Amino acid sequence: MNGRLGLAVIGVGMAAKPHALALNDLRDQIDVRGVYARTKHSVSSFCDTHNFPAADDIEALASDPSVDAVLLITPPNVRADLVSLFAGHGKHILSEKPLERTADAAQSIVDTCAKANVSLGVVFQTRFRAASEALAKLVAQGTLGQIRMVRADVPWWRDQSYYDEPGRGTYARDGGGVLISQAIHTLDLMLSLTGPVASVQAICATTPFHQMEAEDFTAGALTFENGAVGSIFASTASFPGDTESLTFECDKASALLKSGVLTVHWRDGRIETFGEEASTGGGADPMAFPYDWHKSLIEDFAQSIQDGQPPRITGAQAMSVHTLISAIETSSRTGRRVTLTKG
């Protein structure tokens, strides 16, 4: 591929705005060849706002030789068919999270892309925050020492109107509630730093604050393959909502990642901070966050295709968080500890 990446965009719902802002900033590298969604009025409004061309025929868009890749911003229940269509035409795939509603369905998407020999990237933009990257570097270099204990907290708030949208918070469309729709970002970031979870014992519930099918509350205890222990808390019933956080207790320091800022309390008394404070959508407005992280992720995906290399976050890597969420749900359903790996 030479020149700009030709990109198709499918879906113009709530999650599309940061992608659109990022793509406009990346016009020198990415050429949006067409935007498609089932509701023509929504597509027209979206394209007028962001100056993108609308597409009327998804089959024609998938077979267009000027399209190199597709960005999927749809609900997860329609991902499999879209991936089959575009991968079947040799188009690389960048998919919003989650890949699908269940771990097995997500693995099928990974397998489809592998069989078609196309790249599969997943939108876990929190890995691209400056503070997240600073922490990843400290962990990779062993500067903090061994990770001994981890706390993942997602105390978010969504009012009932959020779940009144048809399909939201259902297993048929979304695949679940707070775990797969909100906490998945924090859990993915956690796993990218800690490595795999060995076992989990958890509870999932729906509080009286919401009328919805799936869970709006999850709490659990984890053991990791590296010997660390940890806890998770995730809810969309924590009014008025706060920023998610990850805390790592290590041999040489305690590291807190919250609101886009990494604070490291060294055992020798030093305190260091990295990054800049930013909202992450934990309150009533789920889209109250910058689009810089999306921009970095999309840019990485485009460059990876130019270079013929995998993107930083692949579909295969995304299976770790899908597997963990499945284990959490199984533990809650059975009331038992679930072993993911031998560790």
What pLDDT score does 240 carry? 96
What pLDDT score does 85 carry? 98
For the four alpha carbons of 194, 199, 201 and 207, in that order, the dihedral sign comes to positive
CATH classification at residue 243: 3.30.360.10
Please check whether residues 91 and 109 belong to one and the same domain.
yes
CATH classification at residue 308: 3.40.50.720
Contact by Cβ (8 Å): 94, 71: yes
Q: Is the peptide bond before 53 cis (omega within 30 degrees of 0)?
A: no
What pLDDT score does 282 carry? 59
Tens-digit pLDDT profile for residues 152-169: 999 999 999 999 999 999
Tens-digit pLDDT profile for residues 249-285: 999 999 999 988 999 999 999 999 998 876 666 555 6
Please check whether residues 131 and 97 belong to one and the same domain.
no
What share of the chain has pLDDT > 70, as a percent?
Answer: 95
What pLDDT score does 342 carry? 55
Please check whether residues 243 and 213 belong to one and the same domain.
yes
What number of H helices and E strands is found in the chain?
A: 11, 14
Contact by Cβ (8 Å): 179, 327: no
Nearest C-alpha neighbor of 150 from the set 254, 251, 248, 250: 248
**Boundaries of domain holding 14:** 5-126+294-312
Please check whether residues 99 and 137 belong to one and the same domain.
no
Contact by Cβ (8 Å): 176, 214: yes
| Cβ neighbours around 15 below 10 Å, total | 17
Please check whether residues 156 and 83 belong to one and the same domain.
no
Q: For 261-328, give the DSSP string.
A: EEEEEETTS-EEEEE-----S-SS-TT-S-SHHHHHHHHHHHHHHHHT---SSBHHHHHHHHHHHHHH
Please check whether residues 108 and 171 belong to one and the same domain.
no
Please check whether residues 235 and 299 belong to one and the same domain.
no
Q: Is the peptide bond before 310 cis (omega within 30 degrees of 0)?
A: no
| Global confidence as pTM | 0.94
Please check whether residues 190 and 178 belong to one and the same domain.
yes
CA distances from 216 to 169, 209, 211, 292 (A): 9, 9, 10, 28
What pLDDT score does 343 carry? 41
Task: Name the burial class of residue 319, with classes exposed (0-12), middle (13-18) and buried (19+) by CB atoms within 10 angstroms of its CB.
Answer: middle
Please check whether residues 250 and 279 belong to one and the same domain.
yes
DSSP 98: P
Please check whether residues 157 and 281 belong to one and the same domain.
yes
Structure tokens at 122: 């997943």
CA–CA gap between residue 71 and residue 94 (Å, rounded): 5
What share of the chain has pLDDT > 90, as a percent?
Answer: 92
Tens-digit pLDDT profile for residues 62-111: 999 999 999 999 999 999 999 999 999 999 999 999 999 999 999 999 99
CA distances from 98 to 33, 107, 171, 201, 263 (A): 24, 11, 13, 22, 29
Please check whether residues 19 and 160 belong to one and the same domain.
no
Number of domains into which the chain is organized: 2
Residue 200 has, within 13 A of its CA and on its CB side, a CA count of 26
| Cβ neighbours around 167 below 10 Å, total | 12
Please check whether residues 160 and 236 belong to one and the same domain.
yes
Tens-digit pLDDT profile for residues 178-231: 999 999 999 999 999 999 999 999 999 999 999 999 999 999 999 999 999 999
More confident residue, 115 or 343: 115
Query: What is the phi/psi pair of residue 84, to 5°?
Result: -60, -40
